[in-house]
């Protein structure tokens, strides 16, 4: 290219600045010019304070110092997500980020545990959390990064973060602008299009006309380019995931004992999150506008957490995806491309995977038809698989205490999810639909088992092991994990030593 290729990002926030930071890292300034347009008059939606382990790969791409990043964002570490009251009131389980035990004879560990549970009875079985390092450490409020000795379970510990999403966006803005990204404080009025429908330029309130070769829509739910300008339709999935609203407030905070996991606590018309940061605990009350209204939701939320003074932040969304996330010379990243409610912390993950997919299929001069089709196919596949995973939490409930939970329990589900349920019910097998699928058998088993789904059989190879041998193996795993967790510092102490915010 003899002239720089102009990439224009519309919208800041987490999506915009994650995109700008990643592109500024991998593209040279001689051949590419990156401009981000954001307006401080437009609020950003922040439902991304809890993450899953993929965010570490993104930060590693940027070569970000983890301690500095956590100090700047008031962050903490996250070993999993605790689910309370989902199958029945009083039940609790965890979706940990690391594996259960180890695979034996090519068969996932959970088959052996299910056999053990069947043979000794659920009441006498080893506690499942003692066979998972991350779950055990989380319950003990302990944490460490992976140690150098890869023979130890502590050499492979899996984790993510809790952080202030607004602070993360500010941190990445500083990162990106230092690498040549031009930040414009402005607001789009309209977009000009070429005869073929592609975007030619944006008309801004202050700067006037801003031309570009490729445009990235990070304008959130408004989707100003991909939807308002190009008219790309949206698949509404609220019949399967009815929770489409939330109200957020600060909760009671304990700086001396910051939990290394997110809490997801089901209530009578939805669920609420508890996200522990260094300086506060973020809390949200998620509900369905079909079954309750915002005033009632806020009142019940305040009564539950005892916060009657702070100003509440109300959020609304439509669970679903854009029919095409990339059309012509516009690619939607983040909320403009689609959104699955906050339950499994996938908001920033979908942003991240969209960015990495765009880098892999980097736009340029000439036709981009095949790249756009590939991007759209993989994007649709990824978010559909996430949809099924999140939806399954609601379907696998026995709760009968509200119209909301009865609807979730009795709702029809897509064939793609029904096939997974049928396969697991038959013999405990779990398979990814593709390599593009985010959640693995650890995630699916955690939910299936935690919400009471019991298979009729387990894998035949797991049945071959002598009962005494299997019992000894499980006891060895249990002992090693207990010894490993006993060595760890508390999560709060680890933060104080390595990444305490000033």
Task: Say if residue 46's pLDDT is above 70.
Answer: no
Q: What gap in Å lies between CA 70 and CA 497, rounded to an integer?
A: 12
23 is in an annotated binding site: no
Residues pairing with 250 in the sheet = 282
**Residue 128 in this model has a pLDDT that exceeds 60:** yes
Q: Identify the helix (H) or strand (E) that includes residue 420.
A: helix 415-427
185 annotated among ligand-binding-site residues:
no
Amino acid 215: pLDDT: 98
SS3 sequence of 129-156: HHHEHHHHHHHCCECCCCCCCCCCHHHH
Q: What distance in Å separates the CA atoms of residue 306 and residue 424, rounded to the nearest whole number?
A: 41
CB atoms inside a 10 Å sphere around CB 19: 30
Among residues 78, 142, 274, 327, the one annotated as catalytic is: 78
- On whether the CB atoms of residues 350 and 372 are closer than 8 A, the answer is no
Residue 114: strand pairing partners? none
Residue 47 has pLDDT above 90, yes or no: no
Question: Does pLDDT of 398 surpass 80?
Answer: yes
| Spatial separation of the C-alpha atoms in residues 113 and 116, rounded to whole Å | 5
Residue 100 DSSP symbol: B
177: exposed, middle or buried (C-beta count within 10 Å: 0-12, 13-18, 19+)?
A: middle
Q: Across residues 256-260, what is the average pLDDT? A: 95
Mean pLDDT of 217-226: 97
With bands split at pLDDT 50, 70 and 90, how would you rate the model's confidence at 44? low
Mean pLDDT of 79-97: 98
What average pLDDT does range 281-285 have in this prediction? Answer: 95
Count the Cβ atoms, other than its own, within 10 Å of residue 265.
17
CA–CA dist 36, 11 (Å, integer): 7
Has 78 been labeled as part of a binding site?
Answer: yes
Question: Is the model's pLDDT at 310 over the cut of 70?
Answer: yes
Is 78 marked active-site? yes
**370-397 CB burial, b ≥16 within 10 A, e <16:** ebbeebbebbbebbbbbbbbbbbbbbbb
**For range 172-179, the mean pLDDT:** 98
pLDDT by residue (tens digit) across 268-277?
A: 999 999 999 9
Residue 345 is predicted with a pLDDT of: 93
pLDDT interval class at 365 (50, 70, 90)? confident
Question: Is the pLDDT assigned to residue 41 strictly greater than 80?
Answer: no
CA angle (243 as vertex; 242, 248 as ends), nearest 5: 170
DSSP string for 210-232: EE-SEEEE--GGG-IIIIIIT--
The predicted model scores a pTM of: 0.96
Residue 2 has pLDDT above 80, yes or no: no
What tens digit of pLDDT does each residue of 411-463 get? 999 999 999 999 999 999 999 887 789 999 999 999 999 999 999 999 999 99
15 is in an annotated binding site: yes
- Residue 106 assigned to a binding site: no
Quickly state the pLDDT bin for 45 (edges 50, 70, 90). Answer: low
Q: From CA 239, how far away is CA 260, in angstroms rounded? A: 33
């Amino acid at each position: 290219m003899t002239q720089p290729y102009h990439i224009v990002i519309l919208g800041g926030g987490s999506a915009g600045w994650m995109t700008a930071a990643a592109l500024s890292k991998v593209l040279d300034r001689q051949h590419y010019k990156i401009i981000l347009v954001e307006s401080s008059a437009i609020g950003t939606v922040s439902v991304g304070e809890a993450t899953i382990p993929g965010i570490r790969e993104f930060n590693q791409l940027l070569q970000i110092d983890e301690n500095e990043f956590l100090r700047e964002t008031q962050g903490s570490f996250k070993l999993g997500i605790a689910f309370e009251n989902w199958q029945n009131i009083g039940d609790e389980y965890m979706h940990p980020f690391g594996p259960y035990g180890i695979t034996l004879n090519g068969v996932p560990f959970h088959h052996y545990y299910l056999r053990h549970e069947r043979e000794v009875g659920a009441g006498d079985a080893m506690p499942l959390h003692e066979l998972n390092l991350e779950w055990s450490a989380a319950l003990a409020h302990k944490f460490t990064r992976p140690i150098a000795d890869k023979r130890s379970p502590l050499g492979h510990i899996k984790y993510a973060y809790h952080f202030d999403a607004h602070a993360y966006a500010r941190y990445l803005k500083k990162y990106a602008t230092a690498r040549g990204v031009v930040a414009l404080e402005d607001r789009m009025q309209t977009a000009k299009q070429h005869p073929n429908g592609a975007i030619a330029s944006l008309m801004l309130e202050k700067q006037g006309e801003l031309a570009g070769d490729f445009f990235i829509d990070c304008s959130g739910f408004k989707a100003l380019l991909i939807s308002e300008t190009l008219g790309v339709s949206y698949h509404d999935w609220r019949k399967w995931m009815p929770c489409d609203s939330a109200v957020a407030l600060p909760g009671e905070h304990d700086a001396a004992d910051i939990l290394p996991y997110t809490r997801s606590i089901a209530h009578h018309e939805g669920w609420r999150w508890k996200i522990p940061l260094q300086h506060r605990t973020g809390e949200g009350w998620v509900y369905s506008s079909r079954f309750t209204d915002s005033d009632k939701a806020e009142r019940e939320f305040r009564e539950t957490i005892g916060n009657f003074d702070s100003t509440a932040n109300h959020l609304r969304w439509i669970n679903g995806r854009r029919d095409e996330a990339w059309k012509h010379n516009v690619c939607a990243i983040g909320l403009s491309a689609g959104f699955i409610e906050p339950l499994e912390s996938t908001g920033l993950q979908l942003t991240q995977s969209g960015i990495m997919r765009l880098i892999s299929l980097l736009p340029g001069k000439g036709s981009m038809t095949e790249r756009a089709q590939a991007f759209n196919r993989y994007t649709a596949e990824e978010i559909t698989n996430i949809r099924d995973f999140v939806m399954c939490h609601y379907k696998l409930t026995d709760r009968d205490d509200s119209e909301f939970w009865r609807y979730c329990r009795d709702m029809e589900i897509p064939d793609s999810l029904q096939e997974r349920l049928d396969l697991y019910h038959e013999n405990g097998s779990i398979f990814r639909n593709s390599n593009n699928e985010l959640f693995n058998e650890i995630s699916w088993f955690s939910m299936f088992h935690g919400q009471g789904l019991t298979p009729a059989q387990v894998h035949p190879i797991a049945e071959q092991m002598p009962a005494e041998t299997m019992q000894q193996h499980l006891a060895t795993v249990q002992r090693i994990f207990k010894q490993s967790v006993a060595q760890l510092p508390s999560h709060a102490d680890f933060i104080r030593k390595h990444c305490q915010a000033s």
